[in-house]
A and B are shown apart, each in its own frame.
Chain A
């Protein structure tokens, strides 16, 4: 087995290789996260994937976090990387602003990023440039808004009866009433 590196050492290596890109390195409960600018995030991730001493071949997860009103740049796209051959891990966070919520897709590095990126677009509204098939995945195609954003309400102001979908169901039920079979008296 290849030697395991400490997450701190990996974070150090990233900040030496990309000094202008790394904004912050943080540690919590033994897990290290590296916050970077979004412009060259794909380059950083390619570097981590292809350098033999890191070889982060397993992308555990891609997700987004909305820091509405808490941070200058509203969103963060979070990549959890793990190396099956070396058994070390690191978390890369790329900051994405509200005005242009988009970032480069990493599907050509890890195919497994395909659906998680689609989900992030669907629920958080972050576009992934260069993604082969960026469509909504969990919600219907005509859904409005992105539910995991913090300004998306948990419950609508409208009551159940005022909701568009409910009205449609009632209208369909009324229309179908003509086909009802009535018992002959």
Chain B
């Protein structure tokens, strides 16, 4: 050993490139890390690998045609993106949505939130080293995907909500299955928590890591569970209720310490609250139409009507070729609570059938910008925990 002590050990800072192809970056995120041993000195995230120019595309399409583009933003919660788009355009057009459609949308949005939070938490835990919860959570997620498939035929890119309502009514089979889900799901959440909550490795890797105070969190523009983990009760479902959120009871869970563990706790608690909302919606689900009466000017008629009815065919032809009726001139910003945070749509309408400017405010984009603050000064292993905790989807970051 004496020989080693005599030698002078040279150390130097090391720059490593993490991503864009890395299993723990949840997509194509590239992070350049400057390291001194295991301590991160500087962290620079690079995004844009999935940039498809959604805003530019939206400006060159009619209000109808831009709806499927929103599926591709946060592709694991496409239902919420669609709903956000529809709520914004309905406010622009001044369309009143029927009650039944509002309830169906709320059920769909909360199912999406459950599925999104489960993917977020499951992959987060998987990154840190626990494989089992991932498999358990994907079992329930599969159920939700089946429910979507039952209603609209698609599992991921749904495009189910429409301007003025939803595309088709839900079946009795769907309602029964959703109710069965709400009955069973609380037990399943307990099952996950027995696997995770008291795991010593999980606690050591998450408690006191990536701490951000309430003041800072607001200043950095954080939203959703990432903000609520720091103890700020900002939830657009309560602040600016849309759809049927003002008719159901639910709590907004908040954290205390603002660390990785509290944000995880918030998401788990939100699963319970979402389940509560779905159950109330199924119980209260009113009868009636699922499309607004004046919506024919904005949405396509059902396919079977097009094939049989002349009027419907003409309507479809006009809508496809000319686009929907001109929107009133003006501008508005409408934000909804997507699973990741505040999803805002800002439309500038010049009185034609196409948006003059369509701006998407995605929560993940702002959250990625927080990464240097969380990682610098921390250990390299915590970078993984920090990427998981802000729960980003790169389709939404890059748009």
Interface residues in chain A, defined as those with a beta carbon under 8 Å from any beta carbon in chain B: 28-29, 31, 33, 57-61, 63, 65-66, 70, 78, 80, 84, 87, 91, 110-116, 119, 123, 137-140, 147-148, 152, 154
Contact = CB atoms under 8 A, between A and B. Distances in A.
Given A31-B332, A112-B366, A60 B51 contact: no
B280 interface: no
Given A28-B330, A112-B366, A115-B366, A65 B357 contact: yes
A154 B222 contact: no
Contact of A58 (B91, B218, B333): B218
Given A111-B219, A140-B48, A154-B60, A33 B331 contact: yes
Q: A-side binding surface: helix, strand, loop or mixed?
A: mixed
B342 interface: yes
Interface string B247-284: 00000000000000000000000000000000000000
A106 to B, nearest CB: 11
B48 A137 contact: yes
B218 A57 contact: yes
Interface of B: 47-48, 51, 53, 55-57, 60, 91-92, 94, 216, 218-222, 232, 234, 239, 330-333, 335, 342, 344, 346, 348, 350, 356-357, 359, 361, 365-366, 368-369, 398-399
A148 B221 contact: no
Q: Among B48, B92, B222, which residue has the most Cβ atoms of chain A within 10 A? A: B48
A78 B346 contact: yes
B361 A138 contact: no
Contacts of B357: 65-66
A115 B373 CA distance: 13
A147 B60 CA distance: 13
6 contacts: A60-B344, A80-B344, A110-B220, A123-B55, A140-B48, A154-B57
Contacts of B369: 112, 114-115
Contacts of A63: 346, 359, 361
B365 A61 contact: no
A154 B53 CA distance: 10
B220 A111 contact: yes
B53 A60 contact: no
A60 B335 contact: yes
Contacts of A61: 333, 344, 346, 359, 361
Contact of B221 (A110, A138, A147, A152): A110
Contacts of B234: 58, 84
Given A28-B331, A29-B91, A63-B359, A110 B348 contact: no
